[in-house]
Amino acid sequence: MSGTTADTPIRKAILGSLVGTSLEWYDFFLYGSASALVFNEVFFPTFDPLTGTLLSFLTFAIGFIARPIGGILAGHYGDRFGRKKVLLFTVSLMGGSTVLIGVIPSYATIGVAAPILLILVRLAQGFALGGEWAGGALMIAERAPAARRGFLTSFVQVGVPIGTLLSTAVLYLMSGILSRDAFVQWGWRVPFLLSIVVVLIGVYIRRQVEESPAFTEVESEGRTRRAPILTLLKTQPLDVLRVVGIRAGADILYYLLITFLLTYVTTTLGLPRGVGLLATLIGAGMQLFTYPAFAALSDRYGRKKVTVLGAAGAIAWMLVFFPLVDTKSTGLIVLAVLGGLFFHSAMYGVQASWICELFDTRHRYSGASLGYQLSGIVGGSLAPTIAVALLQVSDSTTLVVVYVCAALALVLVTALLTRETRGGDLRETGVVATARSAS
């Protein structure tokens, strides 16, 4: 981007989306990492370690159940009253609920009330995140030049590895400087309490961002819908399903690499907690660059081709992933994670632009939110739980590999069957024109 005044709105939109999304994913991934490392002891201490971890991952999955509800409501109000107002609410709710997790008493203190409170606050987290991603993506996509929309909108995706880096780094630091007992007793709470920063920084930055021009145009002409979700389901139901197909397998791969791996290397392989956290940190650092790189390639070669490349490459990589991890070599474990996240980047990096381009302006927030969050239930929500269960049943990683590869095959097939949208106009009539030109 040049340094002209005309660039200021897109720069503010990118900064607002990037910072807000990074902070919200910090909260969300912090929970996933804590589920793998410590929640089994704090909230489910009466079970054996692997079963306690399985229950912790189930509370992790509960957050995904709330995400479509949050996505539907955020989409409704975002399509009716604007993207900006909804994004201010979601960042406040996410920050507040995460701070509450940091003060929930343990099972040893209040008994069964502890996991119940954990579940309730986790639902609030999921509700907030359900409306976050689509709003952040639209604030960039609806004002970005068509020729660079993939690259610029990918900065919403970059918020994911930033959030992962922040949450993993804080946990890595706390687990490294504290004894095991101190970390379980109080150390894990510190990263959650730090989420007060989400409210302070996120709200401040997002208040500076102007409303999306595409929505402003529709609103000024009186073309908003009273029930955008109903219009969406009448006119573009298959596109919602396409989003689920494109996203679910990528989600499953990601949570295997980021969340399940932490449990596998500590519980199954008996390695220190720092090994899995180190691999996650390095992988997240790599994705700061691979997301925009693959998104830029999609601006030139198309969203479909880049996604197919990622899905096919990830399937091939899964065949060597666990053999590398099972060596117990820190270097090879890091390599295994880097390879998986590299191919994941090809799929996930282009999704923000592709998903936004699939839907009409009048219900774009609803369509992007619903498709994205439904895929979270089908994909990432149960991925760690299913992987642990398959490991328990077979005492082998073979079924885990089959599960992930089947999900990735669905991504590949769905991508091939979804229309190319690169370069389309995101005005209301542009969606139809793009679809026709690509068919």
pLDDT at position 105: 92
Residue 5 included in any domain: no
Spatial distance between the Cα atoms of 105 and 12, rounded to a whole number of angstroms: 40
Total domain count, the chain:
1
CATH number of domain containing 319: 1.20.1250.20
Residue 33 included in any domain: yes
CB-side neighbour CA atoms (13 Å) of 121: 22
Q: Which residues of 195-224 are buried (b: 16+ CB within 10 A; e: fewer)?
A: beebbebbbebbeebebbebbeebbeeeeb
Residue 309 included in any domain: yes
Residue 368 included in any domain: yes
pTM above 0.85, yes or no: no
Residue 3 included in any domain: no
Residue 7 included in any domain: no
pLDDT at position 323: 96
Spatial distance between the Cα atoms of 169 and 194, rounded to a whole number of angstroms: 13
Spatial distance between the Cα atoms of 89 and 199, rounded to a whole number of angstroms: 10
Provide the domain limits for residue 97.
12-438
Q: CA dihedral defined by 10, 15, 18, 23, rounded to 10 degrees?
A: -150
Spatial distance between the Cα atoms of 112 and 411, rounded to a whole number of angstroms: 40
- What is the residue-level pLDDT of the chain in tens, covering all 439 positions? 444 434 577 888 888 888 777 877 787 778 777 877 788 888 877 777 767 777 777 777 777 778 888 888 888 888 877 778 888 888 888 888 888 988 999 888 998 888 888 888 888 888 888 888 888 888 888 888 889 999 999 999 898 888 878 887 887 788 778 887 888 888 888 888 888 876 788 788 778 777 766 667 766 666 666 777 888 888 899 999 999 999 999 999 998 998 888 889 988 898 987 888 889 889 989 999 999 999 999 999 999 999 999 999 999 999 999 999 999 999 999 999 999 999 999 999 999 999 999 998 888 888 888 888 888 778 877 788 899 889 988 888 999 999 999 999 999 999 999 999 998 877 654 444 444 444 3
Contact 245, 413 (CB under 8 A): yes
Residue 2 included in any domain: no
